[in-house]
Amino acid sequence: MYGPFDLVDKVKRYFWFSQEEWKSILITILALTFIIGFNDGRKTGAIDSFWFYNLFICLIVVVIVVLVHLAGQRIVGLDAGFRVEYKVWWYGIIIGLVMALVTRGNIWVILPGGILIHHLSIHRLGYFRYGTNTLAMAMTALAGPLANILLATFLKTLEIWFNVPVSSVLLLDKLIVFSWVYAIWSLVPIPPLNGALILFKSRLMYAFIFGTIGGYAVLVMFGIYSFIFAFIIGAIFWLLFYILFERGAWSF
């Protein structure tokens, strides 16, 4: 009943974005394009043809990253019997734009918005503990960052294992970097970002996930691409969080 054919049917019915969502997505894309494209990497700070070219490249990158992020969440949500709705977070957008202007694009603050999860009653019949639950919501929220990480990892794998010059192509290089940045920022535990839904499910679960993804990002900075090391870092984060906070939080 809940096999691939059921998921395909739900994707056909409910995957596409509503008109209001497209407005939120458009606002998000334009704002993030300005934030990451404001600084084109040159010291001159001139607004010329190269600046607009860089902005155009950033636009393509943002469109891909945002849509991959939302697609991952919608597919996982539909598989669990939820309809996922994207909402722009105006405060986060304003903070990001102000920081881009103040720092001249040297600091990216990516807080675009989050998701609302709607219960598709007919598609949840027969599920254990019928209705929305924190685990399914956390997994749906986590699907977005994971989709971005898989995209970045796939592109980097082409370069490492198949000698495809990904980093030498401006668009692909920015795509890898922004995929990681977007994934990590979305895990910040501030409502309505994804991290809040994961933290609400379990603080220990959040510590492991954030430690794993953040640790992998640090490893990538040193040219190390290893999911095993990332999981080890995540486990260390989990253990430290448990010893330093969680164990004491449950003692009465």
The residue type of 62 is V
In order of 29, 77, 247, the CA distances from 23 in angstroms are 10, 21, 44
Residues 6 or more apart whose Cβ sits within 8 Å of residue 157: 225
Is residue 5 predicted with pLDDT exceeding 80? no
- How far apart are the C-alpha atoms of 131 and 125, rounded to whole Å? 9
Is residue 128 predicted with pLDDT exceeding 70? no
Q: Which residue has the higher pLDDT, 39 or 122?
A: 39
Q: Is 99 exposed, middle or buried (0-12, 13-18, 19+ CB in 10 A)?
A: middle
The answer to whether residues 15 and 8 touch, using CB atoms and an 8 Å cutoff, is no
Task: Name the one residue in this structure whose structure tokens are 């001249």.
Answer: 104
- What's the distance, Cα to Cα, between the start and end of the chain in Å? 45
Taking the complete model, does pTM exceed 0.75, yes or no? yes
Grade residue 130 by pLDDT with cuts at 50, 70 and 90: low
Residues 6 or more apart whose Cβ sits within 8 Å of residue 241: 203, 204, 207
pLDDT at 1: 47
Is residue 234 predicted with pLDDT exceeding 70? yes
Query: What would the pLDDT profile of 153-212 be if each residue is shown by its tens digit?
Result: 899 888 878 787 877 788 899 999 999 999 999 999 998 999 999 998 889 999 999 999
In order of 18, 111, 187, the CA distances from 127 in angstroms are 27, 33, 28
pLDDT at 87: 95
Grade residue 250 by pLDDT with cuts at 50, 70 and 90: low
Alpha-carbon dihedral of residues 203, 204, 209, 212, nearest 10 degrees? Answer: 140
Is residue 2 predicted with pLDDT exceeding 60? no
> Of all residues in the chain, what percent carry a pLDDT higher than 90?
56
Is residue 124 predicted with pLDDT exceeding 70? no
Q: Which residue has the higher pLDDT, 4 or 240?
A: 240
Q: Which residue has the higher pLDDT, 32 or 165?
A: 32
pLDDT at 13: 81
Query: Among residues 58, 63, 15, which one has the least CA distance to residue 34?
Result: 58
Q: Which residue has the higher pLDDT, 162 or 236?
A: 236
What is the domain partition of the chain in residue ranges? Answer: 4-201
The answer to whether residues 238 and 208 touch, using CB atoms and an 8 Å cutoff, is yes
